[in-house]
Amino acid sequence: MAVSTLSDLLEAGVEGRKILVRCDLNVPLDGTTITDAGRITASLPTLNALLDAGAALVITAHLGRPGGKVDSEYSLAPVAEKLGDELGRYVQLAGDVVGSDARERANGLTDGDVLLVENVRFDPRETSKNEAERSEFAAELAKLVGEDGAFVSNGFGVVHRAQASVYDVAKVLPAYAGDLVQSEVDVLADLTGDPKRPYAVVLGGSKVSDKLAVIEALAPKVDTLVIGGGMCFTFLAAQGHSVGSSLLQEEMIDTCKDLLAKFGDVITLPVDVVAADSFSADAPHATVSAEAIPDGKMGLDIGPDSVAAFAEKLSAAKTVFWNGPMGVFEFEAFSAGTRGVAEAIITATKDGAFSVVGGGDSAAAVRTLGLGEENFSHISTGGGASLEYLEGKELPGVTALERGN
């Protein structure tokens, strides 16, 4: 990635300067309780490096989709508190984004201070399709750090969006890639370059349509493509099997038939599933053949024979990319498939494979199931960004850094 890096900025010196840092702090909440702080934790090395070097930080981030208006449900208040705990220092939260409170607080920052402005998506210009509106907002964000300021892009989970705090601000300030963004792109570049073989990809999640582009991009390049999760039922239907009341995208059946015809030699589907009476944590359930899911039953996880078959496919892999759970891992009764496949990836990693967990629900599953992030070679913080990179799409937040340097 031909951009200026955090190391370049630190070498130039940041003491006495204010640095605008875009982080991905879009964490899941249960009320005001953060249920998975992984994205906050991932942001810390870059933030600490800047603080240790004497910078004052103005951090921008979003939470959810408030629709361009102030909504207390999407306030970054819980994030500011957690970030302060993790950094071991007080994190101010401005009551607005670029308004009087943010400006006053930013003006008063001294070396080592941290200011988090409110949810950038409270301002409709952040996600506007109008470049002039985004540019105006970006200029106001840049003013928070002054003429001697700089911009560090450290939120990989948002670099696939041409939004003001990610893309347009890199036109206004000297722009640098944070360590998180740089490491993510370097890892994904390895996957699209010349990965060690056998190369295995594990895809799950709900919808085929969400993963269609990455399937089409990766299937010709991999040795094994394992498919589980809700999306597997559309493939099973494409093979002519009954899927009961399982999640099904009927409009994608013909597409799945085409994919199986083209790439059937690398695609592996479940042979059994855990089928339940309803979508609930305590629903009665049983393991059934993937070729004969009873009417009225819905598959909520892959079965033990599928886990064994998938594990065998993964055992020889030297490179593994995993995106998407195998079932509804949030419900204990339907978490065994995701856990089993994750443990197979861990075994492959211990045997020398390079393993990448492609962010999103997969990364959440690793933490929720207590599998240990250290057991994988790399855990991405950006599910959508990871997939778009592997699809070969341009990531606006990265190209903005390349263009600006």
pLDDT tens per residue across all 405 residues of the chain: 578 999 999 999 999 999 999 999 999 999 999 998 989 999 999 999 999 999 999 999 999 999 999 999 999 999 999 999 999 999 999 999 999 999 999 999 999 999 999 999 999 999 999 999 999 999 999 999 999 999 999 999 899 999 999 999 999 999 999 999 999 888 988 888 889 999 999 999 888 888 888 999 999 999 999 999 999 999 999 999 999 999 999 999 999 999 999 999 999 999 999 999 999 999 999 999 999 999 999 999 999 999 999 999 999 999 999 999 999 999 999 999 999 999 999 999 999 999 999 877 898 899 989 999 999 999 988 878 888 888 888 899 999 998 654
> How far apart are alpha carbons 356 and 387 in whole angstroms?
12
* Residues 87-107: tens digit of each pLDDT: 999 999 999 999 999 999 999
Q: Is 241 exposed, middle or buried (CB count within 10 Å of its CB: 0-12, 13-18, 19+)? A: middle
Which pLDDT does position 403 carry in this prediction?
Answer: 66
| Encoded tokens for 40 | 């906050």
Q: Which residues are annotated as a binding site for substrate?
A: 24-26, 39, 62-65, 121, 161
CB atoms closer than 10 angstroms to residue 250: 8
Q: Which residues are annotated as a binding site?
A: 24-26, 39, 62-65, 121, 161, 211, 299, 330, 359-362
**What does the domain layout of the chain look like in residue ranges?**
6-180, 194-390
Judge if 6-180 and 194-390 fold alike in CATH terms.
yes
Superfamily of structural domain 6-180? Phosphoglycerate kinase, N-terminal domain (3.40.50.1260)
CA angle, residues 248, 249, 251, in degrees to nearest 5? 145
Report residue 117: phi and psi, to 5°: -80, 160
Q: Which residues are annotated as a binding site for ATP?
A: 211, 299, 330, 359-362
**If we measure between CA atoms, which residue out of 246, 332, 336, 327 comes closest to residue 282?**
332
SS3 285: strand
Which pLDDT does position 192 carry in this prediction?
Answer: 85
> How far apart are alpha carbons 343 and 243 in whole angstroms?
27
- Full-prediction pTM beyond 0.75? yes
Residue with tokens 């810390």: 44
Q: May I ask the CATH class of domain 194-390?
A: alpha beta
Which pLDDT does position 1 carry in this prediction?
Answer: 57
Q: What is the set of active-site residues?
A: 39, 207, 360, 384
